[in-house]
Structures are given as structure tokens and as C-alpha cells.
């Protein structure tokens, strides 16, 4: 019983409780068998119910299966730094002939990225996350990496990006994660990133366009465009265009664009209903930081919709997502007023770890 408690499996149903002298074990391929220490024999059927069982799903986050020198399977909990010969999934076994689930898994505002990816295996799949050294981007990159993906943190600040890589490796030393330079405020940097990525000659299963700027004072990039517009929209637009052929070759693939509900509170058309390009990259006299942010998020929505229309027949889907109302992150750091506002609202906001990662595929980019 102490061993069961150590593995977190001491809370068992009475029907499945084993008689004295019996022990539950698992094979390498996930089948459950039962050892009778009194009679020194093993069998596949539960000694009380007669049912055969197997393990359901992957190991929990932070666990890894190993084999000792005698060929016996044991399990390592990297988070709590402990080992056990009991499979932690024994609490979630299913019958040999399970019935098909009748309802779909539902998620809410408290669901974490790790919970959404529970049971998903991304081994061998390449994921690129922009702005992944902090906030939503970091949690997204970490969650993918801890589920086996080869994750590339595309960041402007390489010092902070490498620190983020170290933090992920600190949670799981076998994580496959690296940092690459990407400055969305410089189109030449976007081009260099795309070239460097293509030189790796790997597929691209998921591209998360997460990096963004908020409440910036007016400034122009070296490309002559207003900074918020270029960082939040145009840089990602250009990146997707440059990687479009890789995405199509990697199908099924997905592009996720992090937008915002604030896209509803602006417009980019003039009084005649035509696109007003001067609103996308305004002059200093016509600039308001919040409005510039809202317009860039509207551009994200329109871009994601059109990208899905064009590429979905080729196996590439695009989804725009709203990360959560008043989500507390570091995006507000550019002006003290917003920092104060976010700080006051923090008790009522979503935490970073309960943020979305990859919602189940639904209708593409529904916020238009």
C-alpha cells in the first residue's frame, strides 16, 4: 500500500482492489498483468473481476519509462526526482474492449496547455513559436517540447531566448529545443530566419505567430513602417509567405495566429468602405497606441481567414485565437499606465499556465 501511495495510486475502487498477496504490473507495451506472490504465478485476468486491462494514454507530464539492468521496467518522475516500479497510469487503465466515448472533451478557462496536450505525442514534429522567451509563447513552446516536439524559439533577444531554452531543459533534459534569431521589426531578419530554417531541411508541422507589441510609443522601423503594425502583423505575414512552401510540404500542418478581442474596436476602411492604408501605418500625428494595436489584431484575423481559404485545400489550416480577457503577461510593459491597469486586474485574469495552447480544430478563424 505504501508503494501505491508513493505512485499516487492508493485511491482505488473496491471492485478493482486486489486480494492480499496480489500485485498489479504492466508490460512494456502497456498491458496489465497480475502477480500472485503466494502461489508464485502471473495471469492476465484480474483475480476478482476476470477483466483484462491495458494502460490508457501516455505517461503524465514529467514521467519517463526506463529499463533496469535486469530488464524490468521502472518509471522516473523528473519533476519530483523519484523512481518507482509502479506505472503511474495504473489508475487510468481501461478494459480490453473499451466502449467508444459518447461525449467530447471540453475545456474551460482553467484548462492548462499541458492538459490540452495530455496524451498527444509530437515526437519528430517541428514547431516554431515566435516570441517564445516569455509569456504565452514560452508556455506554448514548453508544452510542445515536453510532449516530444522539436521546438524552435524564434526570438529577437537571443540572451533571453537561450535562458528560456535552459528553463525548458531544466524541466526535461531530453527536450529537443533551440533558439533562432527573429526580429519582426526588421524584414531582412525575417528573411534570414526563413533561409536558416529552410537550410535545416526539416518539416514544419505547427507555426505559432505569437510575438507582439503593445502600447508602444510611435516609431518607425528600419523598413519605414510603424512599429506596432510591422511587429504584430506584417512581420508574421512575411514569415508565413516565406515558409508557405515548407508548410504545404509538411501537411497536415497548422498556423496559429494570436490575435485579440480588441480587433472588434477598430476599423481599417475609410468612409467609402475601402481599405485605408494610412490607418495601417499611421503618421505620428495620427497615432494612438491602443488603436494601432487593435488594428494590427484585426489584420491578424483577416490574414488568418484568407490564409485558411487559400491553403486548407493543400492540408494547411490556419486559426486565429483570442488568448483571454486581460491575460496577465509582460506585453503591457511599455507604459506604466497599462502596467498599473493589468496589475490591478491580475486577481481576475487567467494565469499563464492556464492559457490556451492548441484548441481542437474547429471552424477556422471564427473571429472576423
Is residue 306 within 8 Å of residue 244, measured between CB atoms? no
Given a contact cutoff of 8 angstroms between Cβ atoms, the answer to whether 364 and 306 are in contact is no
Cβ atoms of 113 and 149 within 8 Å: the answer is: no
Number of residues that make up the chain: 368
List of residues 6+ apart from 154 with CB closer than 8 A: 128, 129, 130, 131, 132, 179, 180, 181, 182, 193, 211
Take residue 163 and report the three cell numbers written for it: 535562458
Reference 128, options 39, 198, 185; nearest CA is 198
Closest to 26 in 3D by CA, of 97, 68, 75, 98: 75
| Alpha-carbon Rg for the chain in angstroms | 25
| Alpha-carbon span 56 to 345, nearest angstrom | 40
Residue 180 parent element (H or E): strand 176-181
Vertex 361 angle, CA 150 and 246, to 5°? 45
Q: Is the dihedral of CA 247, 133, 222, 188 positive or negative?
A: negative
In the chain, the largest separation of any two C-alpha atoms, in whole Å, equals 87
Edge-to-edge strand list for the sheet holding 22-26: 22-26, 32-36, 41-43
Catalogue the active-site residues.
293
Contact 54, 43 (CB under 8 A): no
> Going by C-beta distance under 8 Å and a sequence separation of 6 or more, which residues neighbour residue 68?
74
Burial class from Cβ neighbours inside 10 Å (0-12, 13-18, 19+) for residue 41 reads: exposed
- Is the bond preceding residue 145 a cis peptide, omega within 30 degrees? no
- Residue 215 has a CB neighbour count (10 Å cut-off) of 18
Amino acid at each position: 500500500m505504501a508503494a501505491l501511495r508513493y505512485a499516487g495510486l492508493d485511491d482505488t475502487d473496491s471492485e478493482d482492489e486486489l486480494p492480499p498477496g496480489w500485485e498489479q504490473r504492466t508490460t512494456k507495451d502497456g498491458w496489465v498483468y497480475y502477480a500472485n506472490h503466494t502461489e508464485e504465478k502471473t495471469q492476465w485476468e484480474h483475480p476478482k473481476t476476470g477483466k483484462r486491462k491495458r494502460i490508457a494514454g501516455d505517461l503524465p507530464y514529467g514521467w519517463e519509462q526506463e529499463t533496469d539492468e535486469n530488464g524490468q521496467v521502472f518509471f522516473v518522475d523528473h519533476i519530483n526526482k523519484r523512481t518507482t516500479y509502479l506505472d503511474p497510469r495504473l489508475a487510468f487503465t481501461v478494459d480490453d474492449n473499451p466502449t467508444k466515448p459518447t461525449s467530447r472533451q471540453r475545456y474551460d478557462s482553467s484548462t492548462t496547455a499541458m492538459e490540452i496536450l495530455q496524451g498527444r505525442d509530437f515526437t519528430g514534429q517541428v514547431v516554431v513559436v515566435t516570441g517564445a522567451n516569455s509569456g504565452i509563447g514560452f508556455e506554448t513552446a514548453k508544452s510542445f517540447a515536453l510532449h516530444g516536439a522539436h521546438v524552435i524559439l524564434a526570438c529577437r533577444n537571443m540572451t533571453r531566448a537561450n535562458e528560456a531554452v535552459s528553463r525548458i531543459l531544466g524541466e526535461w533534459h531530453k527536450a529537443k529545443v533551440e533558439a533562432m534569431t527573429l526580429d519582426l521589426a526588421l524584414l531582412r531578419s525575417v528573411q534570414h530566419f526563413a533561409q536558416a530554417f529552410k537550410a535545416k531541411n526539416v518539416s514544419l508541422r505547427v507555426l505559432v505567430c505569437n510575438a507582439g507589441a503593445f502600447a508602444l510609443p510611435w516609431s518607425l522601423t528600419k523598413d519605414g513602417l510603424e512599429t506596432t503594425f510591422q511587429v504584430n502583423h506584417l512581420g508574421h505575414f512575411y514569415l508565413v509567405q516565406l515558409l508557405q512552401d515548407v508548410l504545404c510540404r509538411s501537411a497536415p500542418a497548422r498556423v496559429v495566429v494570436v490575435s485579440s478581442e480588441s480587433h472588434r474596436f477598430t476599423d481599417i476602411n475609410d468612409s467609402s468602405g475601402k481599405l485605408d492604408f494610412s490607418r495601417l501605418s499611421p503618421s505620428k500625428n495620427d497615432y494612438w497606441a491602443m488603436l494601432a494595436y487593435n488594428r494590427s489584431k484585426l489584420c491578424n484575423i483577416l490574414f488568418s481567414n484568407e490564409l485558411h481559404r487559400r491553403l486548407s485545400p493543400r492540408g494547411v489550416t490556419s486559426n486565429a485565437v483570442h488568448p483571454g480577457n486581460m491575460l496577465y503577461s509582460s506585453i503591457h510593459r511599455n507604459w506604466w499606465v497599462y502596467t498599473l491597469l493589468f496589475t490591478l486586474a491580475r486577481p481576475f485574469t487567467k494565469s499563464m499556465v492556464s492559457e490556451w495552447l492548441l484548441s481542437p480544430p474547429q471552424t477556422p478563424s471564427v473571429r472576423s
